[in-house]
Homo-oligomer: A and B are copies of this chain.
Amino acid sequence: MAQVKPMRADARRNYDRLLEEAAAAFAEHGERASLDDIAKRAGVGSGTLYRHFPTRQALLEAVYVDAIDAIAVRADELAAELAPGEALVEWMNELAAGMIQVRGLKALLGSAMADGGAEVLARCGSSVKEAAVRLVGEAQREGTLRGDVEPIEVLRLAHGVASASELGGGDAVHIRRYLSLLTEGLRA
């Protein structure tokens, strides 16, 4: 998705600098870090920040595009290594872990998975959705995943697992535990 018209050199410089500082600030202070502060740290005026990224959401999206793409790529790696059913569960595990560890990613992906959130994050959310479609399809063809489960449901359940795990501290043990309760079911 290269610019149709290349950015002016100073604009490009500021854009990159902002992205860099935003990543640092979000990592340090959480997804609610002050935007004006990010601008200051990047050595630009706040107007410049808001021109490049009209909303906090837009900035978060730009910052986490890489993390989101990595999640989508990871789906294919797992599909190549493991049986379809295992690949799906392992992917959900990594997806939930990513949503917890990378601060702000859960809310961001959440809005991509929300009912009318299609347009908001069309670009980066879609690669994750496509990955889900593939993994779910294969697991169902294999016969280890319930046939009536939709890919979007799997994504939302991963979000739910992340939410539940977060309450317990959000470490790997909790994620595996709640994911296992989901895959196995609560029935005796």
Q: How large is the interface on A (under 10, 10 to 19, 20 to 34, 35 or more residues)?
A: 35 or more
Q: Is A146 an interface residue (CB 8 A)?
A: yes
B167 with A114: CB separation less than 8 A: yes
Known: A114-B167, A140-B188. 19 other contacts (CB 8 A): A110-B167, A115-B167, A145-B186, A145-B187, A146-B181, A146-B187, A149-B186, A152-B168, A153-B178, A156-B178, A157-B164, A157-B186, A159-B167, A160-B160, A160-B163, A160-B178, A163-B164, A183-B186, A185-B185
A113 interface contact, C-beta 8 A: yes
Residue numbers in B under 8 Å from A156 (CB-CB): 164-165, 167-168, 178
Query: CA separation between A187 and B162, bound complex, in Å?
Result: 20
Oligomer: number of copies: 2
Contact assessment for B181 and A149 in the assembled complex, using a CB-CB cutoff below 8 Å: yes
Q: Please determine whether A185 and B188 come into contact, CB atoms closer than 8 angstroms.
A: no
The minimal Cβ–Cβ distance linking A134 to chain B, given in whole angstroms, is 17
